Structure 1
Amino acid sequence: MTRVIIDGDACPVTDSVIRLTEGTGIFVVLVRSYSHFSMQDYPSHVEIKYVDDGPDSVDYKIVQLAKSSDIVVTQDYGLASLLLGKVRVVMHHNGMVYTEDNIGRLLEQRYRHAQARQQGERHKGPKRFTDEARAKFELRFQRVIDEVTS
């Protein structure tokens, strides 16, 4: 059984994933910290798991839950690197699929930015999530769903 596990504390494509998996037989597991608790109602194919607010608690839970048939959506490069080879697909909310070919470069970039911040350099924050970015994610995610369900 295929599931989509979402690193859900700040994922801008949660609604897209839920909508695109409806009626496919794919279940969605939304993992959030208690500080992101919501009373929102979700469709029956969506399960929410809440974890403590500690650093990386959501990441640890996702690694614990992940199985080889799963798809994981996360913007966390470190978590993505832990899941490569363990799950079917790991995706960023911008539509990028993490691979063995790109994860090393992404982790190196993250390290360089952290060093620069420690030295007092300022970087632009994350880009604003746009409708165009959502459409790109949805197109790529739909292809992944089509591969899984065919």
Structure 2
Amino acid sequence: MRHIYRFGNCSARKAEKRDNLIYIDADACPVRQEAIDIALRHQVRLVMVTNGGVRPYPHELIEMKYVSQGPDEADKWIVSTAGQNDIIITNDILLAAEALREGAAVLRPDGSELTQANIGNQLASRDLMADLRAAMPLDMAKAGGGRAFSSSDRGRFKQALDQKVKQLIS
């Protein structure tokens, strides 16, 4: 299974954790501000993990974690740190699969939740699309990307994150 990767034993970092946290795979995340607003409203710590392209947010509950440049560095750090009852915000399917194995909840920026029940289909779709792109690179390039991120996606995200935070802190 080419989509499975593990980052090794990270129990030392996990043992340092205190509270439930929200982690954002922040470099390409369109809902950083919405997540910050919800974290502040509920007084939950939020960690934005980036390799440098995100401005700091001046509040004691908002932490910036800068990781090395390179593929999957933010993902590796998030998986090595996040755990049970944390919330991960990402569009990265591989990161989501690893976070779910660690017991974290995973939300996409469009508000959809990735779970143990649906992550297998998401991984299979990801692999299928990668195979299609490899087989027809020019045709796939003409097809363009997915649909644009919308205000209704943003609204669904805010509602989903608010509900998930309430669920985990109660």
Q: 1: CA distance between counterparts of 2:30 and 2:134? A: 28
Unaligned runs of 5+ in 2: 1-18
1:6 paired residue number: 24
* CA distance in 2 between partners of 1:24 and 1:73 (Å): 17
Letter of the aligned partner of 1:22 in structure 2? L
Query: What is aligned with 2:135?
Result: 119
Separation of aligned partners in 1, 2:98 and 2:76: 10
User: Where do 5+ consecutive residues of structure 1 fail to align?
Assistant: none
Aligned position for 2:84: 68
Q: TM-score, normalised by structure 2?
A: 0.81
> Do 2:23 and 2:48's aligned partners in 1 also have CA atoms closer than 8 Å?
yes
- Aligned pairs for 1:1-150 (under 5 A) are 1-34=19-52, 36-38=53-55, 40-120=56-136, 121-122=139-140, 123-150=143-170
Q: CA deviation at 1:149?
A: 2.6
Q: State the Cα RMSD in Å.
A: 1.4
Q: TM-score, normalised by structure 1?
A: 0.92
Q: What secondary structure, in the 3-state scheme, does the structure 1 residue paired with 2:66 have?
A: strand
In 2, the alpha carbon distance for the partners of 1:43 and 1:82 equals 29
Could you tell me which amino acid in structure 2 is paired with residue 114 of structure 1?
A
Number of residue pairs the alignment of both structures matches: 148
> Aligned AA for 1:20?
I
Kindly state the Cα deviation for residue 37 of structure 1 after the two structures are TM-superposed: 4.6
Distance in 2 (CA, whole Å) between partners of 1:41 and 1:23 is 15
| Identical columns (%) | 29
Which one-letter code corresponds to 1:44 in the other structure? E
